[in-house]
A and B are shown apart, each in its own frame.
Chain A
C-alpha cells in the first residue's frame, strides 16, 4: 500500500502567489515524522521542513509552512510569495518509529512558477 501519496504530478503558480502542494500519508504507527524536500533541476535533494506526529503546532520555515491535519493524515506544504527559484520537484516523505531506519517518499510534485 502506498504510504505517501502526492496526487498532483504538476502544479503551476504565478510568481508572488501562494501555492499548496498536497501530501497524504498512511500509517498505524503513532510516532512518525513528515518531511518535505525540494529537488531542483540540478538534482540535489534539499530539506525544507519537518513535522513530528506529536507536534502541537504546524511547522514553519521562512516562506514554507506545513498544514498538518493529523486526523485526515495530511501534511500539505504551503509556499508563500512564490519565486521563480521555487520551480522544482517537491517530495513529501515519512519516517515511522517502527521503521525508523528508512524514509518513504511520495512520487513528487513538479512546481512551475510563472513570471
Chain B
C-alpha cells in the first residue's frame, strides 16, 4: 500500500539552528501538508501545498517556516532559528485532491519526524 515517507524520524538540534524535515508524498497525490503535534496535544495545521505553491497556511506558519518541493518527489519543511517551543512531532501528509465530499480525499499521514530543540 502506498505510503508517505518522512525523514529523519528523530532530530535533535540546538536552539537557533536550522532544520530541514523531508517528506516523500504518495506519488499520484496532488496536495501536500505539514502538521505538528506538541507532545500529548492536538494536531495543528501548518501549511498546505499545491501546484508548487502554498495553498493555505496557519498563523503558526510564520517567516520562520518555509516549504519547498525541490524535485518531483520530495516535499520539505525548513525551520529557521529553532526555538525550544518548536519541539514537536511534525507530520507530513498528502491527498489526491482537496475536495471535501469524497472519501478519496482523505489525508494519508507519514510516521512523523520528532524534533527536539535543546
Question: Can you list 17 pairs linking A and B with CB atoms under 8 Å apart?
Answer: A33-B105, A35-B106, A43-B112, A44-B111, A45-B112, A52-B100, A54-B101, A59-B103, A95-B98, A95-B105, A99-B56, A101-B31, A101-B33, A101-B56, A102-B58, A105-B43, A106-B42
Instruction: Please state if B108 and A33 are interface contacts (CB–CB under 8 Å).
Output: no
Instruction: Give the A-B pair count, Cβ closer than 8 A.
Output: 79
The answer to whether A103 has its CB under 8 Å from any CB of chain B is: yes
Instruction: Please state if A97 and B56 are interface contacts (CB–CB under 8 Å).
Output: no
Closest A residue to B55 by CB, please name it: A101
- Which residue from B45, B91, B101 sits with its C-beta under 8 Å from A31? B101
Considering the complex, which residues of chain B in the window 82-99 have a beta carbon less than 8 Å from any beta carbon of chain A? 89, 91, 93, 98-99
* Chain B residues with a Cβ under 8 A of chain A: 31, 33, 35, 41-45, 48, 50, 55-56, 58, 89, 91, 93, 98-103, 105-109, 111-112, 114
Q: How far is the CB of B28 from chain A (nearest CB, A)?
A: 17
- Residues of chain A lying within 8 A (CB to CB) of residue B45: 102-105
Considering the complex, which residues of chain A in the window 57-115 have a beta carbon less than 8 Å from any beta carbon of chain B? 59, 91, 93, 95-97, 99-108
How long is the Cα–Cα vector from A101 to B58 in the complex, in angstroms? 11
Mark contacts of A29-60 with chain B using CB atoms, 8 A cut-off: 1 yes-contact digit, 0 otherwise: 00111010100000111110010111100010
